[in-house]
Amino acid sequence: MEYLQNKFGKKLDKCILCSSEKIYHYHTDFNGIDIFRCKNCGVQFMNPQYSDVYLSEYYSGYSVDEPQWEEPLLYCHDYYLSLIEKYVNKGNLLDVGSGKGYMLAAAKKRGWEAAGYDVDEKWNEKLSRKLDVEIKSGNFLELEWKTEFNAVVMHHVIEHLKNPLLYIRKIYELLKKDGVLFLALPNINSRSAVFKRTLEKMGIRKKNTGAYYDTGHHMFYFTPGSLRILLEHNGYEVLTTKSGHAARPNQTALKRSFMRNISDRLLWKSTFLMICRKKELFTAI
């Protein structure tokens, strides 16, 4: 198939996020995917990246129904919205990477005017009818919207992008003055990942090396520090950083309460979230 024959693009010779040429090979996973790291901004990334042809085919059927996850995911998104509402009044919300629609459904229930974006056009049409919200497809960087947004959400999206910088700058333009951007994503410096990577570099752990990079569809690998650098150099003020909230099916209310109030405060989990506010003036990297 063409998409497998053209699986990768050209090798990058500089960091996409900060343009530094001080990049170096950092790790290789068990699939032979090379991970590079930027000495300037600290981000890690797949090099070379997947091609546009490969990604288009991969994501063409990415969204499927998973009924057992409906309750915990709606719960998580409702919780994330409660965090967002600490920093901005309810209004227009854009969910970039709306997927199965849990954020859109939770936002509507809480009184937001919600809209979405995702790459799977057929799925979007189905979901748009079900939720009665606008969900766009196409090139996100070229899309126009009828309104500015009080909040933009990227829930486990930024790690999938070939150029997160362009999305961050596009979202800046879409946000109202003092609007907020919410991001949730994997933490490549989680306690588990750091431990496993250390064993791998020592030659002790040899099976499934680098599996925590999830290179099947992730191309950028952030830490709270490297994401903060990207945001602060592109017009945002970071308001809060927490570990991600990993609700599961049939989870007790007590466990969820413990995570929300205690364990989520520790940045050693496999995911983290960040909420930041648009500043009026900034100087890009």
Domain check: are 213 and 274 in the same one? no
Q: Which helix (DSSP H) or strand (DSSP E) does residue 220 occupy?
A: strand 220-221
Backbone angles phi, psi at 44, to 5 degrees: -110, 150
Task: Write a three-state SS string for 136-191.
Answer: ECCCHHHCCCCCCEEEEEEECCHHHCCCHHHHHHHHHHHEEEEEEEEEEEECCCCH
Domain check: are 264 and 165 in the same one? yes
Q: What angle do CA 275, 18, 266 make, to 5 degrees?
A: 35
pLDDT, residue 257, reads 77
pLDDT, residue 134, reads 97
pLDDT, residue 3, reads 52
Q: Which of 217, 235, 261 is the last residue of a domain?
A: 217
Q: Which of 217, 237, 271 is the last residue of a domain?
A: 217
Domain check: are 123 and 204 in the same one? no
Q: Which of 197, 217, 237 is the last residue of a domain?
A: 217
Instruction: Give the residues across from 186 on adjacent strands.
Output: 271
Q: CATH no. for residue 269?
A: 3.40.50.150
What is the residue range of 213's domain? 1-61+188-217
Q: Which residues contact 21 (CB under 8 A, 6 or more apart)?
A: 13, 14, 15
Among residues 245, 242, 249, 247, which one has the least CA distance to residue 274? 242
Domain check: are 202 and 182 in the same one? no
Domain check: are 102 and 12 in the same one? no
pLDDT, residue 34, reads 98
Domain check: are 145 and 197 in the same one? no
Domain check: are 99 and 153 in the same one? yes
Tokens of 109: 């229930």
In the chain, the number of structural domains is 2
Domain check: are 233 and 205 in the same one? no
Q: How many helices (H) and strands (E) does the chain have?
A: 9, 11
What distance, in Å, lies between the first and last C-alpha atoms of the chain? 39
pLDDT, residue 262, reads 76
- CA–CA gap between residue 127 and residue 155 (Å, rounded): 17
- CA–CA gap between residue 251 and residue 134 (Å, rounded): 32
Domain check: are 102 and 138 in the same one? yes
Count of other CB atoms within 10 angstroms of residue 234: 20
pLDDT, residue 285, reads 46
**Cβ–Cβ < 8 Å for 62, 238:** no
pLDDT, residue 59, reads 79
Domain check: are 41 and 154 in the same one? no
Domain check: are 147 and 277 in the same one? yes
**Cβ–Cβ < 8 Å for 149, 174:** yes
Q: What is the pLDDT along the chain (285 residues), one digit of tens a residue?
A: 555 568 999 999 999 999 999 999 999 999 999 999 999 999 999 999 999 988 888 877 665 556 665 787 888 999 999 999 999 999 999 999 999 999 999 999 999 999 999 998 999 999 999 999 999 999 999 999 999 999 999 999 999 999 999 999 999 999 999 999 999 999 999 999 999 999 999 999 999 999 999 999 999 999 999 999 999 999 999 999 998 877 666 777 777 777 777 777 777 789 999 999 999 755 544
pLDDT, residue 2, reads 53
Query: Global pTM?
Result: 0.92
CA distances, 36 to each of 123, 124, 202 (Å): 34, 34, 18
Domain check: are 153 and 94 in the same one? yes
CA distances, 218 to each of 33, 35, 126, 161 (Å): 11, 11, 26, 8
